[in-house]
Chains A and B, each alone.
Chain A
């Protein structure tokens, strides 16, 4: 036994919700990506590409995160010793992707800024970001992270408490 039953079941319910969101939006990104890349007729654009970016591999990685959360539901429901593992790793991966996408958004903002202040012949180097707006980079990996925040809080609390009392 790792957790008490009540806490275990609350965590299981939480993991189920977060896992399903990551899995569903990952699959939508994947389908949108397939549709755009290969022009496949069966792969219709599932959701407006402005909301769910069409990206095959980003979709696959979100789905992997979702599956890790979902693999944890059973041990969490049973409150066994592995309960925290899937939540911790799922949250960790969600945080990594959130940080990476945020870094990309920040760096594109730099490109947009330099385009608007650089003198004429050099501004062209940054033409890719001339029309950039922050919404362009608001990918599901960023806003889905809001769901993972309670998991991150729980994981960090566990990390710090075990560091203090190993």
Chain B
């Protein structure tokens, strides 16, 4: 601290600056430079790393990614949905009523429905792989560094945050590469606001139902809101309980490369297959549990207000009344604490109607477009999944910070959704 006061900066930085100054002087005195031909990387970086154009160019590319993810994948979602609708109709013919219901409504209705979202998830990973393989994605951290530094975040934090677009678990673990304890903690606490692939099915379902031709924009806005909330939350932490300056950021940027189709497909598969594994394990178990809760006590109408799932939703619904969520949505949000995909899966089981279009029609009949957008924001901002909570505990080594993460995310999600409903009302949207 004393050295910092005398030198005006960290001793490490002052020493490094002095060292590089000496090296520059020696090189200048001893080396005659020829004019170096500018490489493709130099040419592109002039614009992509430009302080005025760099950030708008990033948001434009991100928007292209979500146009591709949402619009281009839609018919392929339909093909997967058609397959499961056909399997469901076969299962419904099984003479044993319980087995037929479990297979048709629980497995093919719930799990099959979530599997139709394999298409947008794979499309998203393909587009992100193209950006990553080209060398562009590494530049995003650099472009945002100045802004992040001003807001109290470490430039290196942007890499875990970008990883968070895929899955929050490795993203939180990637925060280990950040040296300062406070910088690392802030990154761990903000990564869950980055919209992981598990949330995408929820957005696709709701945006498709309520925002028609603007659906891709609505989905894109979730990713932007996630980044903005993460940055604002980091700023708040830096100004209050985690005061201090972030450490300087040094990154070596790779050269640009033309991405290959095969390389990007392989990367897409490596990431996307984790969703299929999850579907075959957690989501399958989740589908069975949801089906059991929706038909118990025996004799009630499946997924009705009299079933166990209905009782859970109805008990908690008053809390979500101001947001305009009905008990069916509240139930699905409760189960989504285990994994976000369960929002979609449980809505499939609760509404008991087959296919995306039918569930979308049921949603349109039960909530307003403003509440639907609030639901997307709530899904974006509240605890991503139980596994994330476990990783936060492991990485922070503290129950206190884990509890803080869970409670702050819940509070921010609720306030964020409430803000959407309030603003929507003020602007005259219903």
A–B pairs, 6, beta carbons within 8 Å = A55-B217, A96-B64, A125-B357, A127-B357, A128-B74, A159-B258
Q: Is B214 an interface residue (CB 8 A)?
A: yes
Main secondary structure of the interface of A (DSSP, over half): helix
The answer to whether A61 touches B217, judged by C-beta atoms less than 8 angstroms apart, is no
Q: Is B37 an interface residue (CB 8 A)?
A: yes
A114 interface neighbour in B67, B75, B85, B213, Cβ under 8 Å: B75
- Residues of chain A in range 103-129 having any CB-CB distance to chain B below 8 Å: 103-104, 106-108, 110-111, 114, 118, 121-122, 124-129
- Residues of chain B in range 347-392 having any CB-CB distance to chain A below 8 Å: 355-357
The answer to whether B357 touches A85, judged by C-beta atoms less than 8 angstroms apart, is no
Query: Would you give the shortest CB distance from B117 to chain A, in whole angstroms?
Result: 14
Query: Would you give the shortest CB distance from A59 to chain B, in whole angstroms?
Result: 11
Chain B hits for A37, CB < 8 A: 214
Known contacts: A104-B72, A111-B75. The answer to whether A118 contacts B82 by CB under 8 A is yes
A18 to B295 alpha-carbon distance, docked (Å): 62
Interface of A with B (CB < 8 Å)? 2, 37, 55-58, 60-61, 64-65, 67-68, 71, 81-82, 84-86, 88-89, 92-93, 96-97, 100-101, 103-104, 106-108, 110-111, 114, 118, 121-122, 124-129, 158-159, 162-163, 165-166
Q: Is B68 an interface residue (CB 8 A)?
A: yes
The answer to whether B68 touches A89, judged by C-beta atoms less than 8 angstroms apart, is no
A101 to B67 alpha-carbon distance, docked (Å): 8
Chain A hits for B43, CB < 8 A: 84-85, 88, 158
Q: Is B40 an interface residue (CB 8 A)?
A: yes
Chain A hits for B74, CB < 8 A: 107-108, 111, 128
* CB closest residue in chain B, given A96: B64
- Residues of chain B in range 34-78 having any CB-CB distance to chain A below 8 Å: 37-40, 43-44, 46-48, 53, 56-57, 60-61, 63-64, 67-68, 71-76, 78
Query: Would you give the shortest CB distance from B63 to chain A, in whole angstroms?
Result: 6
A74 to B16 alpha-carbon distance, docked (Å): 37
Known contacts: A56-B217, A104-B71. The answer to whether A85 contacts B355 by CB under 8 A is no
A60 to B55 alpha-carbon distance, docked (Å): 13
* CB closest residue in chain A, given B82: A122
Chain B hits for A84, CB < 8 A: 38, 43
Query: Would you give the shortest CB distance from A93 to chain B, in whole angstroms?
Result: 6
The answer to whether A82 touches B78, judged by C-beta atoms less than 8 angstroms apart, is no
The answer to whether A61 touches B71, judged by C-beta atoms less than 8 angstroms apart, is no
Chain B hits for A166, CB < 8 A: 37, 39
Q: Is B183 an interface residue (CB 8 A)?
A: no
Q: Is B253 an interface residue (CB 8 A)?
A: no
The answer to whether A125 touches B68, judged by C-beta atoms less than 8 angstroms apart, is no
Tier of interface size on chain B: 35 or more
The answer to whether A100 touches B355, judged by C-beta atoms less than 8 angstroms apart, is no
Q: Is B145 an interface residue (CB 8 A)?
A: no
A122 to B88 alpha-carbon distance, docked (Å): 12
Chain A hits for B73, CB < 8 A: 107
* CB closest residue in chain B, given A160: B40
Query: Would you give the shortest CB distance from B281 to chain A, in whole angstroms?
Result: 27
* CB closest residue in chain B, given A166: B39
A97 to B60 alpha-carbon distance, docked (Å): 9
Q: Is B316 an interface residue (CB 8 A)?
A: no
Query: Would you give the shortest CB distance from B94 to chain A, in whole angstroms?
Result: 19
Known contacts: A125-B355, A127-B357. The answer to whether A110 contacts B61 by CB under 8 A is no
The answer to whether A111 touches B78, judged by C-beta atoms less than 8 angstroms apart, is yes
The answer to whether A114 touches B47, judged by C-beta atoms less than 8 angstroms apart, is no
Chain A hits for B56, CB < 8 A: 64, 67
Q: Is B220 an interface residue (CB 8 A)?
A: yes
Known contacts: A104-B68, A104-B72, A125-B355. The answer to whether A96 contacts B40 by CB under 8 A is no
Chain A hits for B37, CB < 8 A: 162, 165-166
Chain A hits for B76, CB < 8 A: 107, 110
* CB closest residue in chain A, given B69: A100
A165 to B357 alpha-carbon distance, docked (Å): 55
The answer to whether B75 touches A110, judged by C-beta atoms less than 8 angstroms apart, is yes
Query: Would you give the shortest CB distance from A53 to chain B, in whole angstroms?
Result: 9
The answer to whether B75 touches A61, judged by C-beta atoms less than 8 angstroms apart, is no
Chain B hits for A107, CB < 8 A: 71-76
Q: Is B15 an interface residue (CB 8 A)?
A: no
A89 to B42 alpha-carbon distance, docked (Å): 12
- Residues of chain B in range 122-169 having any CB-CB distance to chain A below 8 Å: none
* CB closest residue in chain B, given A2: B38
A107 to B73 alpha-carbon distance, docked (Å): 7
Chain B hits for A122, CB < 8 A: 82, 85-86
A166 to B37 alpha-carbon distance, docked (Å): 7
Q: Is B79 an interface residue (CB 8 A)?
A: yes
Extra A-B contacts (8), CB below 8 Å, given A61-B63, A107-B74, A110-B76: A68-B57, A89-B48, A97-B64, A111-B75, A124-B357, A125-B78, A126-B78, A129-B75
Query: Would you give the shortest CB distance from B354 to chain A, in whole angstroms?
Result: 10
Q: Is B81 an interface residue (CB 8 A)?
A: yes
